[in-house]
Structures are given as structure tokens and as C-alpha cells.
Structure 1
Amino acid sequence: MKYDYVIAGAGIVGLSIARELNRRYPEARIAIIEKESDVAKHSSGRNSGVLHAGFYYTADSLKAKFTRDGNRAMKRYCEENGLKVNNCGKLVIATNEAELEGLAELKRRGDRNSVELECMDESDVSRIDPNVHTYKKALFSPSTATVDPVEICQCMKREIASKGVELFFDTRYSEHRGEAIRTNRGKFICRYFINAAGLYADRIAHDFGFGLNYAIIPFKGIYLKFARNKSDVLTNIYPVPDLNNPFLGVHFTKTVDGSIKIGPTAIPAFWRENYRGMYRFKLGEFSQVMYYMTKLFIRDSFHFRRLAINEMKKYSKAHLIGLSLKMVNQLDRKGFGEFLQPGIRAQLLNKQTLELVQDFVLEGDASSIHVLNAVSPAFTCALPFASYIVDQVEEKLVGKRLDWERGRDQAQGVPG
């Protein structure tokens, strides 16, 4: 099986890369290999469904640009394909005087990133959602929306398949030898390999000699549904985040169908697919994760001890509900149902500094490229991020051709 491009991973990033490659090179042979039975079985199908606006991130980050542009691009994609969008907006609220400076910093970032963000007082907030409780001020993001991530991924799968992209499910990457990508279902020969494997992106990158300074450590995100009604909360409600780590804290999400849920947690997971019980337990993964978690706990990098202890408490439904109730005037705590299916966040750790990497990371050469850190909000960013990745691939292939031409000229005695 010979292809121009082989992509590992059929999440939103892998699908978007295939779509962008097909758009630029409609005659190219493109394949996606995916170890699961369908698209979006991990982070892409287990996230909040929020299309973020792009005001959390520093202006010099890739996330800032891709989130802003991706919000617009994904809404446009949904409109063009008849997919659901809930344009419900988002309020970021404060709970005390100290958090007002956090709101001010978010407003400065939003302004630098050219993201619409309205500063409101309590009376303005009540007009957006009368049930929201804030301390003096809040920020309103009118461009924040919610979608159905699985619906989008399924639509994109159908689109690229109809244009000739081949998808191979239940196909697990094993190793590479030159242009040969070996899997449990045979060998794929490719001119260029693109690693968008999410939770296992670092493992595949290491096999190519890339990403050696990094390891992925997993964090479990759990949501709890408010089952009583869909009307007690009208918009997404978020607390002021700790900008020193990539987690946004427990918040209210207004889903695409108008339902209400709270979460997510950021509970340290013990292996990469630690969704429930001993599901897909792997001793090697457990050992590696515990090694790095222990180092983080001992050194207390980015206040990991406090983070881990506070997050573990969120396994308690009563505790999780209590955190959410601080953001609303009233809500029946007995109205919450069961926990929804958990997701695992593939968070990149710098092994030297023991810091969580908060921006996208790519490494590669003229034969392969590796998406080492498709960190949240990767779903929002997917379309412009895919375009950026394909730009990087083109640059590396052009460089390869120029190097080959220089080598040929030197061999023939042609002056450089």
C-alpha cells in the first residue's frame, strides 16, 4: 500500500490535516491509520464541545491565533454542512477582589488577540443570565459557542472519504523502517508521515527520533450533567483561571442541545487510557506516569501537590457540585444526574524543566512531522492548525528538494 501521505490518528487534528492536504493536492494518495474502530474515540469525541474565542492565551502563542481563527472557521464549517451550533456565549466571573485583576489580564489578552470581549458589571451580567453570580465585574465573550464534536468528526470523515482519502480503522502503528510504516494490519509505504496520534504522539515521535525531551502525562476530565432542566443556566459560566497551568477550572457548559453540565476535572490519571476501572491498563504506562508524577509531587512543579490534591477531591459529586454553585445564585443540587463519559487530556511534560507545555509543539524533518502537543483547545483550533501543519510539511519537502539539487550539482561539478 503506497501513499503520498500517511497520517496516524483520526481525531479532529488528523482529519483536518487530511482535509487540508486533499484540498491542496487533490491527486495525492492520502491514508489515515487509526487504532480504534471509528473517528473521535478519545479527546476529540470526549471534550466539552466548546468553541473557545481565544482570549486566554498570550499574543505570541500559536494558540491565540489559531483559537480566534478556528472559532470562525469551525462555525463556518458547521454552517456549510448543516451541523448544529449553539451561539450561547460565555461569562467569566470573579468570586472576590483578587480575581478582578485576573479579569483585567484576560481583557488585555483579548484586546491584543483581537477577540471581542465585553467588560460588564453585575447588572449587565444579569441581562445575559439572571442566575449568574459574580463579584462586581465579569467578562462576556459573545463569540464562544458549543457544537457536537462527534457530529463534526463524522461529517469530516464522510467528506474526506468521498474525495478519495482512505481510512484504515483498527490499525495500530507498530514501527517505521525508512518509508515503511508497519502496523498490525500490514505495511504502508509513504512519501511523508504525519503523526497526530494524541495520547500516543510522543511514543511514535520517539520512534522517529523526535520529541525526546518530552513525555505525555494523562489527566482525566469528568463532567456531571444537570438533569433537572435546561433552563436554569443560559450561557457558559467560567471562573477566573490560574494562568500558570493549562486547566480552566470547574465551569458550567451549555451544550449544543441546550443541556447543562459542570466540569471538567483535571485529575491525574495513572495510565493513558485510564477511563474506568482497569480498562486498557498497561504496566509500562503506569510505571512511567507514576515516575513523572512522583517527581512533580516531590519538586512541587507548577504547584502540582495542591493541584493533584484539589483535583482528586472532585471524584466526590458533592464537592464538584459545591464548586459550581459558587457561580450561580441558585440551583437545586439534587438536580444533578450521573457522571458523563470521561475524557483523557494528553498533556505534554518537558522532562528537563518538569513544566507542562502550554502551546502547540511540532517537530519533524523532510520525512515526517509530529504533533507532540495538540493541547486544549485543539478542537477549536483544528482547521487553521491543520493549515499551519501542512505549511510546515511543504517547507520541509522544499528544503529536501533543494538539498538534493545542491548535492546533485556538487556531484556534477556545478558551481553553487
Structure 2
Amino acid sequence: MARARAAAARTADRSAHAGHTGRADHDVVVIGAGIVGLSTAYAITRASPRTRVTVLEKETAPARHQTGRNSGVIHSGIYYHPGSLKARYAVQGAAEMVKFCTEHDIPHEVTGKLIVATEREELPRLHSLVQRGRENGIPVRELVPSQIAEYEPHVRGIAAIHVGTTGICDFAAVARTLARLAEDAGATIRYGSRVRAITRTAEGVIISTDGAELRTRAVVNCAGLHCDRIARLAGDDPGMRIIPFRGEFYELVPSRHELVHGLVYPVPDPAFPFLGVHLTRGVDGGVHIGPNAVPALAREGYRRRDLRPRDLADTAAFPGTWRIARRHWKYEIDEIRRSLSKRAFTQAVQRLLPDVRAEDLIPAPSGVRAQAVLADGTLVDDFLLAGKPPFVHVLNAPSPAATASLPIGREIARRTLEAL
């Protein structure tokens, strides 16, 4: 019944808008049905109910890539520079995500997490995280070794902090719910619709897909792993390139799940953009361990053998790729070594979890991170929104994008509606 009402509303809106939209059949086209694209579509329908919104997704369902292939952590925002978009959106988004999951019966839990120092040289960085967390308004408790055992009896460290607002949820379920809510509010989602060309005209924009042409007044690029390519199709220079990194996970065999009660992270190295091998008990009760972060040979290269010549050529031809390699080669050698050697991976895990054995670990599905890189080799650290009307390009939405998807979606929606 709700779908029928939504269809009737869309028909009425087409008639109502015919006089002022010229030849455009749509007001906004969102490219990409990941959690950020769907949150944007949902936010537009809430802020401007008569706006005609269509989401284009090349896959047959939502959340097939980064959204559906992460560790499911609702991040607190403790790692991010105070005042940055990541800090602001993560803190706000974490609270909103818990509320959203509660309202829509999506599996979730506010577990808190430990960040554990295992070496003395990590202590200054741990203390810096305490200060940063407090500046961001996040509840942080400092722990000595005996207090670590109160949370995680099998984890070992010389000091730790407990971050109370971290949690877990099923982000793929969140994305499906956002898709349903957006459709119920009048949006249309077209699956199996790969964007082939984008043409600017005097009346707006024409988007060509595998089977149709859409005329729209505004375009939101939420294409994730392919966002830079979509920007170039639109005639814009994104000033960056997506370099894909595969995150490889293991999981604990069920008989050893008792080794990990919640979420346990090492102290991150601020010189490297990844958080290191961590332990995550998910909403299904399983325990994921990882990831390694290794260069992928395809933008959707979820397996080692996945290779796409075009993707590899794009990566190899980009100057920033080689500048990253020169800057971070020592870190990447360690990541690749753990990727190729289960023994080396197990040894990395044993720094936090001494009781784990190689036979306790079984391979789990991998994800690919869409890392935005500048030509000088700088890894873009914060969210990057760009473009001039009629385009809004989301060019970097790294973790904690899923956590922060609700406030990010509203900000993108605001910019899009201004473009109209």
C-alpha cells in the first residue's frame, strides 16, 4: 500500500514540476546505492518531499561494496582531529546511528571498545588519544593492566583506554532500511543501471545508462570506488585518484569465540592511515580479526587473484601511487608479509591476544577501501565533498563514513538542494 501511495505521489510530482523543470524528468539523480548515497536520497526526500529523486546503482542490490564489506563498527570519533568533518560527523553520527537502529529494529549494540598499548613507545600516542577523545566530547577511561582484564580477560597490554560510545551494527541492514524509507517517501531506485556517460545541456544533465537516458537538474556522485571516474565523466577534474586497498580478515573458529568479548584495537600509528589488526565481535556473535591493508589489483578486487587491467593501469599511471610507495614502503612491506604468511599474521594478533593459535583463524571475506590520493602522494584524510552546481561529488568517504552516514547525507542533501 505504501509503495502504491509513493508511486501516485511521484506521478503527481511530475505533473507539478513540469512547468519549471524544462525537459528534466528528474530533479536529483544520486549515483551509487551505498549507505552514503541512500542516506542522501532519504535526506532529500525528508527535507524537500516534492523533489523527484532517483538513485542509480550498477549492482542488483544496495550495499554490495564498502557498506556491506566492513567490520560493522559504530565508531566513536576518538581518532579524528577536533573540528574536522570526520570528528564532528562521527560523534554526531554514532549517536544517531544507535537511535536509527533502535527505531527500525536493526541489530546493534553499544559495546564500548579497548585501545591497548603493548609497548612503552606507544604510551605517548595512547595519552594523545585520551586528550583528543575528551576534546571531541567522548567518554574515555584510562586503564591499567588489571583493569584491562575486567573487560577482556584474554587480552594483554601495559595500558589501555576504554571508549564507551563505540558499538556495532549491521550496516547493510541500515542501507536496506534507508532504501525502503526513501522509496516510501517517493524516491526511485534503479538497480542494474551502470552510468556510461554524463552530458551537460542548457536544460540540465543527461545521464546515459545501459538501458536508458535520464534528464535531471542535479547530480550527486556517491560512487565510492569509482567516484573519481564519475567526476571525470561529468567533465570535472577531481584533483585526486582512488587507489584501492584490500582489507583482508580472518575470523575465530566458533570454539574460540570466548577469547574476545567485544572490540579491541591497537594504538594506531598516525603516520599510516589504517588502524592496524584489531579484534571485533560482530552482531552475529562471530569474531573478525584484521585487516591487513594491501594494494588491490582491481577496484573491486576482493580476492588476491582479482585483476582488472584498466584499474591496474590507472593506479600505475598516477604519480601519487609511487609517491605513496616511497613514503610508506616500510608499512606496506609489513602488511604484505602478513597477507602472504598466516604465521606472520598470527604473530601480529598475539601481541594483543597471546592465547590465539594459527589453527584458530579461518579466512573471512575481504573488503576494499576507496582511498583518495592527491597527485603529490598525500592520502586524503577527511571527507572530501566537491563540485559546482549542478554536481555534488563525494570524493572521499573513508571510515567512519558508515557511522556518520546520516549527518553526511543531510549535508550532501543541503548542498544538492541549494544547487537546485
Within 1, Cα distance between the matches of 2:378 and 2:150?
41
Within 2, Cα distance between the matches of 1:358 and 1:180?
32
Within 1, Cα distance between the matches of 2:272 and 2:380?
9
Within 2, Cα distance between the matches of 1:295 and 1:330?
38
Amino acid at match of 1:291: A
Q: Please give the per-residue CA displacement for 1:129-175, whole angstroms capped at 9, x wherever unaligned.
A: 2111111x211011111111222212222222222211111100111
**TM-score normalised over the length of structure 2:** 0.89
Determine if contact 1:88/1:234 at 8 Å carries over to the other structure: no
Whether 1:190 and 2:226 are equivalent positions in the alignment is no
SS of the residue 1:266 aligns to? strand
Cα shift at 1:396: 3.9
Determine if contact 2:320/2:374 at 8 Å carries over to the other structure: no
Determine if contact 2:319/2:377 at 8 Å carries over to the other structure: no
Partner of 1:2: 25
Q: Please give the per-residue CA displacement for 1:281-323, whole angstroms capped at 9, x wherever unaligned.
A: 432221121234895268612xx21122111112222221221
SS of the residue 2:41 aligns to? helix
Q: Please give the per-residue CA displacement for 1:171-215, whole angstroms capped at 9, x wherever unaligned.
A: 001111121111112111111100000000001112224343200
SS of the residue 1:222 aligns to? strand
Amino acid at match of 2:271: N
Amino acid at match of 1:312: I
SS of the residue 2:258 aligns to? coil
Amino acid at match of 1:19: Y
Whether 1:287 and 2:309 are equivalent positions in the alignment is no
Within 2, Cα distance between the matches of 1:373 and 1:326?
32
Partner of 2:368: 344
Bigger shift: residues 323-332 or 182-191: 323-332
Cα shift at 1:325: 1.3
The match for 2:176 among 143, 150, 154 is: 154
Within 2, Cα distance between the matches of 1:246 and 1:39?
27
Whether 1:105 and 2:128 are equivalent positions in the alignment is yes
Within 1, Cα distance between the matches of 2:248 and 2:412?
30
Alignment of 1:5-404 (within 5 A): 5-135=28-158, 137-178=159-200, 179-227=205-253, 228-276=255-303, 278-279=305-306, 281-292=307-318, 295-296=321-322, 300-301=326-327, 304-315=328-339, 316-337=341-362, 339-351=363-375, 353-397=376-420
Amino acid at match of 1:286: L
Within 2, Cα distance between the matches of 1:49 and 1:306?
29
Q: Please give the per-residue CA displacement for 1:87-107, whole angstroms capped at 9, x wherever unaligned.
A: 221100001111000101111
Within 1, Cα distance between the matches of 2:222 and 2:404?
14
Change (3 A) 1:58 1:298: closer
Q: Structure 1 unaligned runs (5+)?
A: 398-416
Within 2, Cα distance between the matches of 1:295 and 1:235?
36
Within 1, Cα distance between the matches of 2:115 and 2:343?
23
Q: Structure 2 unaligned runs (5+)?
A: 1-23
Within 2, Cα distance between the matches of 1:298 and 1:72?
35
Determine if contact 2:324/2:377 at 8 Å carries over to the other structure: no
Within 1, Cα distance between the matches of 2:321 and 2:403?
32
Cα shift at 1:277: 5.3
Change (3 A) 1:229 1:171: same
Identity of aligned residues (%): 33
Determine if contact 1:245/1:356 at 8 Å carries over to the other structure: no
Within 1, Cα distance between the matches of 2:319 and 2:280?
29
Determine if contact 1:245/1:358 at 8 Å carries over to the other structure: no
Question: What is the aligned-residue RMSD (CA, Å)?
Answer: 1.7
Within 1, Cα distance between the matches of 2:311 and 2:39?
29
Within 2, Cα distance between the matches of 1:318 and 1:371?
39
Change (3 A) 1:293 1:343: farther
SS of the residue 1:92 aligns to? strand
Within 1, Cα distance between the matches of 2:296 and 2:304?
11
Determine if contact 1:220/1:343 at 8 Å carries over to the other structure: yes
Determine if contact 1:91/1:141 at 8 Å carries over to the other structure: yes
SS of the residue 1:262 aligns to? strand
Cα shift at 1:331: 2.8
Cα shift at 1:114: 0.8
Determine if contact 2:324/2:378 at 8 Å carries over to the other structure: no
Cα shift at 1:229: 3.4
Determine if contact 1:297/1:305 at 8 Å carries over to the other structure: no
Determine if contact 1:238/1:249 at 8 Å carries over to the other structure: yes
**TM-score normalised over the length of structure 1:** 0.90
Q: Please give the per-residue CA displacement for 1:299-358, whole angstroms capped at 9, x wherever unaligned.
A: 612xx2112211111222222122111102423432222x1111110000001x211100
Within 1, Cα distance between the matches of 2:176 and 2:338?
32
Determine if contact 1:270/1:290 at 8 Å carries over to the other structure: no
Determine if contact 1:86/1:257 at 8 Å carries over to the other structure: no
